[in-house]
Structure formats: structure tokens, C-alpha cells
Amino acid sequence: MLELAAVNSGYGETQVLHGMSLTARAGRVMAILGRNGAGKSTTLKTIMGLLPRTAGDIRFEGQPIDRHPYEIAKRGIAYVPETRDIFPSLTVRENLELTAKRFGGGGWTMDRVLELFPRLGERMANGGTQLSGGEQQMLAIARALLMNPRLLILDEPTEGLAPIIVQLIHDKLQELKAEGLSMIIVEQNFGFATSLADDVVVVGKGQIVWEGSAAEIRADSDTQHRWLGV
């Protein structure tokens, strides 16, 4: 579904990805694991056109991917960044309506995302700055779903969240997985990531250093210790 072949990318003169290659398959969840600074978030930003690709190819559903974020989103890839990037000066309703008007027409509607996250329905008149971290994450995911994506990409979806909210986010992503939505998740929480993922890749120094199934990485204590510090 999504293929990266020998991709180089980074920040200015600092190269972070060195020949990054991976394949995310349709209808499955891929977890990208690795230590801080390994290149996980850089990989996602490069896919979304937020960082320049200096070498290599990226293909989505067999076709070369555009380098402009809006065009990539229109192709069917939705991105939930670590920073969530909701509009703080807008209400929950306005945040959702803005996306629904631009990308509407598919199976994900306002009613459906509010059914998935009932808490947002209680907070529709509240501004982004009035939301808790967990509510902001729910809003970020709901907004991404309103784009009616074929691939949902999430960067550190549990970062800074209380355990009860982490479990809620896990359960909601599990529901999306059961519906067949393809996902790529970057996540430091090893248990969270491997309980959701079908496929796992481990990134070290801007390259894939291990790949296999979630069950295989859970059983591979040497890889966990060497590359993840688990």
C-alpha cells in the first residue's frame, strides 16, 4: 500500500534517514519502533511531504507520492502529528467542520466521529485551549478520520496522556483496525504498539534494523534491549 525505497531525508544539512525502505500493507497496522532520535518521526514527516526527500522513492497504492502535504492528504493519507496541531482558537465543532467541509463525502461523518468519541460531543462549544491532552488527541484523531483516509498515520498517540486515556485511545484504534483501516503508528509505548500492530519495523540510525511480526518482536528480548532499551 505504502512503499518507501532507499529514502534519504533530514533537517537542513543534517541527514537523518539513510536509505529508509519499508512496505506497509493494506488492511494492516504497522508499528515503527526505535529509540529517540532514530528517525521514526522523520520518516512520517517525509512521507507527508513536511520534510524534503533528497533521495529515494515513495509510492502509495502503486503510484508515486506527491511532495506537497495537501496533495498527499487528498490522495487518502491522514496524519496525526505528535503535536496534534488542532486549531486552538477554534471550537471543537469548528475544528471538525473545517475538515468535514473540505474532505467530506465518505463514510466518516460528524455523527460517526462523535459516536467514536462521545466526549467530543460534550465539548463541541469549547475552544482547543480548553481541552485536556486526552481530549485534544481525540479531536486530532477525529479530524483525521473526517478526511476519510485509506491510511491513517499516527505519531506518538499516547505521548503525555494518563493511563486511562491511553487505554481509551488503544480501544478506539483497535476498533478502527477491526474495521480494516490501514494504519502506521510511531510509538514509544512498547506494549501499546505491539498489542495493536500486525507488522513491526525497528529503526536505528535512520535505517530499518529489524522487521517482523508483533509476536516476534515481543519474543525477541535481544532486539528489544539493543534497539529499544526495553
Decide if pLDDT at 19 tops 80: yes
Higher pLDDT, 102 or 125: 125
* Residue 101 pLDDT: 86
Q: What average pLDDT does the chain have?
A: 92
* Residue 201 pLDDT: 96
* Residue 80 pLDDT: 95
Any idea where the domains of the chain sit in the sequence?
1-76+152-157+182-230
- Tens of pLDDT, residue by residue over 153-206, are 999 999 989 999 999 999 999 999 999 999 999 999 999 999 999 999 999 999
> What residues contact 72, with CB distance under 8 A and at least 6 apart?
47, 48, 49, 60, 65, 66
Mean per-residue pLDDT for 3-9? 95
pTM equals 0.93
* Residue 230 pLDDT: 64
* Residue 83 pLDDT: 84
Higher pLDDT, 66 or 96: 96
The CATH superfamily assigned to 1-76+152-157+182-230 is P-loop containing nucleotide triphosphate hydrolases (3.40.50.300)
Could you tell me the sign of the dihedral formed by the alpha carbons of 183, 22, 54, 65, in that order?
negative
